[in-house]
Structure 1
């Protein structure tokens, strides 16, 4: 993460979450389902692409990658989690904190890749 005012994050997603994101005018992530206690944005585009292609496409028929900016100072509350190799980096945002997390998104969430 940089010392800039915002930090760029990516989120691989499936069609259902993408539809909810559209309904929120590309400004807020939808609430988590009961079986989703954590919201996982990732810290690099390549990792997001890998998840979209290798998990979302086989399970949902399509995978998408979004990019968005979040207030850097706010993100300091979430330690970077290494979920595998050196570049497999995520933030773990508890579902009950997602509304506050959404309040710190700067600008719209962008759809940058689509895979089928």
Structure 2
């Protein structure tokens, strides 16, 4: 099976929910979050975790995971800024099915804390 590697920047609360799943699933979206959007570029995920999650939550994390590539093709890739700022848009109501197609575990590859530093 071919897989697609994706990244997702998260704050501490979302990371705890991922850990609670055994690092195998993303938590359901909140009512004001109609889209789950992992990103296709590690550098973009780092920027979000470091520049947005740290100021908002005191820490930010970049996770990496793989999903069945054939399954992932059903979701549109959206360019939300520059040429490399790409997100996969998964409707919130399809997240459980998306989670079922994750291959392996969700891993933390970068950790940022207030005061600086990458603790991964």
TM range (shorter): over 0.9
**Corresponding residue of 1:17:** 14
The size of the alignment, in residue pairs, is: 113
Unaligned runs of 5+ in 2: 114-120
How much does 1:66 deviate? 0.2
**Corresponding residue of 2:45:** 48
TM-score, normalising length from structure 2?
0.92
Where has structure 1 moved over 3 Å in runs of 4 or more? none
Unaligned runs of 5+ in 1: none
Name the CA distance, whole Å, in 2 between partners of 1:63 and 1:54.
9
Q: Deviations over 1:12-67 (max 9, x none)?
A: 00000000001000000000011111101000100000000111011111000000
**Corresponding residue of 2:118:** none
Matched residue SS, 1:17: helix
**Does 2:64 align with 1:67?**
yes
**Corresponding residue of 2:87:** 90
CA RMSD of aligned residues (A): 0.8
How much does 1:80 deviate? 1.0
